[in-house]
Amino acid sequence: MNAAQISPAAAKAVRDVVDYELLFDCVHCGLCLEACPTYVLTRREMDSPRGRIYLMKALAEGRSELEADVVRHLDLCLGCRGCETACPSGVHYGRLVEQARAYVAANYPRGLVERARRWAISALFPYPQRLRRLLWPVKLLESAGLRPLAEQALPGKLGGWLALLPPLAAREHNQVAVPWPTARPNASGPAVVVHHGCVAQILTDAENQNTGRLLEAAGYRVVPMARTECCGALDLHLGNVERARRFARVNVRELKRAGVEAIVSAGSGCSVAIAEYRELLSEDPELKSDAQSISAKVRDLSTLLLDSRLTFPKFPCTVTYHDACHLRHGLGVRDEPRKLLGSIPGLRLVELQEADLCCGSAGSYNLTELEMAADLARRKADNIIVTGADYVVLSNPGCELQIAAELRRRGAKTKVIHLANFLARAMRG
């Protein structure tokens, strides 16, 4: 269909969801292109931030309709925000792509298989108890030694999903985190809450527990949340803004009730989602000012630990560090985890090539875009392996599972470990 045939009402409907004025911040300089993982891999303009902004503008001006190839280019975006860090014009690309996805979710008829896949992700992952029940058959398969067979035999993308899961028995063993002798709560320390996420409660709970223990060891008072909902990031990736708002409202009320000075998550994607409740709930008459104050309290574990001057015993090993996208590009935290690691006596920190290029995890991206996600995981693993490091440390459970699956597949010696678990290990010496 050419532009003359596209209804002005359709273009207006796009502008009702996508902030049209924000699109004009882009001056088409192209400085973001080499920071964009999908452009780096495909070399296609329409898989770059500039190309996708062009597509959003074409939709909003009625020069293009919402056809399959437009949706494809938008789907292929990881939402990693590498482009935001690179952009000299301050384009709010993350916000734009979330808005465009909300428009796509409401207006584009996806095929049955894709709808089923997206339904399964949104029906399972934000609910820890459902996920726990789903993992039972996987544990049974694993204990019978049949999991590799199932990964090969399952149809469609299900085998790929299964391969991303860590070995569950070993995982459970790792969850038994032994507190080190110096971890004593300080009743008068600054109050901090650790948001435990959703998937993380089941698959990476040691990361949550160790985050709390490290904060206590550093003199903070860790206050539990009475109720924890998914941060909403998964829904925002899938264009389901209304449910993200529902989750955000519960979290804002609970975080306000906790009455803390700082909010921490072991998942940097969750941290950024909470830091952006101020925008998500900006039209909510009851909660908008609470959302602003909650968002302003989000901190990263590394920043709080550096502020406290926590010290570590000697822990000789070689470490490289992967920047989780949302920590680096969403919260702007780059140097603090490196400084913290560098403060451990005996530790040698080796810089990773393309440390801030997305590993392909990106929320639920590695469940919907398996091929691109696998290409990025391979590229990340190549860069990790050449460092020869004993550990690759990172600050997001999604990256942890994604990179671990690829290194496991290759039989690489480097161990993938979350910063909280690594520091807990270092504390124990």
Q: Which amino acid is at 142?
A: E
Q: Which residues pair with 391 in a beta bridge?
A: 319, 415
Q: Which is nearer to ligand SF4, 82 or 232 (CB)?
A: 82
Task: Tell me which residues touch ligand SF4 (CB under 6 A).
Answer: 26-32, 35-38, 49-50, 52, 77-83, 86-87, 89, 91, 93
Integer CA distances (angstroms), 158 to 26, 131, 183, 407, in order: 39, 15, 41, 20
Q: How far is the CB of 35 from ligand SF4 (least distance, A)?
A: 6
CB of 234 to ligand SF4, least distance (A): 16
What Å distances lie between residue 423 and 14, 151, 158, CA to CA?
47, 33, 34
Q: CA dihedral defined by 290, 291, 294, 296, rounded to 10 degrees?
A: -110
Measured from the CB atom, the residue of 29 and 296 that comes closer to ligand SF4 is 29
> What is the distance between the alpha carbons of residues 65 and 1, in angstroms, rounded to a whole number?
8
Question: In angstroms, what is the minimal distance from the CB of 76 to ligand SF4?
Answer: 7
Which two tokens mark 385? 């392996």
Smallest distance, Å, CB 361 to ligand SF4?
12
Q: Is the dihedral of CA 165, 166, 170, 176 positive or negative?
A: negative
Minimum Å gap between C-beta 365 and ligand SF4 is 9
Cβ proximity to ligand SF4, 310 vs 327, nearer residue? 327
Residue among 24 and 119 whose Cβ is closer to ligand SF4: 24
Residue with token string 């709930």: 281
End-to-end Cα, the chain, rounded Å? 66
CB count within 10 Å of CB 316 equals 10
Residue 84 CB, nearest approach to ligand SF4 (Å): 7
Tell me whether residue 34 or residue 286 sits nearer to ligand SF4 (CB atom): 34
Q: Are 84 and 91 in contact (CB under 8 A)?
A: yes
Q: Which of residues 147 and 328 has its CB atom nearest to ligand SF4 in the complex?
A: 328
The pair of three-digit structure tokens given for residue 393, joined into one six-digit string: 């440390």
Smallest distance from ligand SF4 to CB 32, Å: 3
Q: What is the DSSP string of 251-267?
A: HHHHHHHHT-SEEEES-
Smallest distance from ligand SF4 to CB 353, Å: 18
Strands 317-321 and 262-265: unpaired
Residue located via tokens 């470990």: 417
The DSSP output letter for 64 is S
Residue whose CB is less far from ligand SF4, 49 or 128: 49
If the CB atoms of residues 27 and 170 are measured against ligand SF4, the closer one turns out to be 27
Cβ nearer to ligand SF4, comparing 35 with 233:
35
In this structure, are residues 231 and 263 in contact, taking their beta carbons and an 8 Å threshold? no
Report, in Å, the least distance between residue 394 CB and ligand SF4: 17
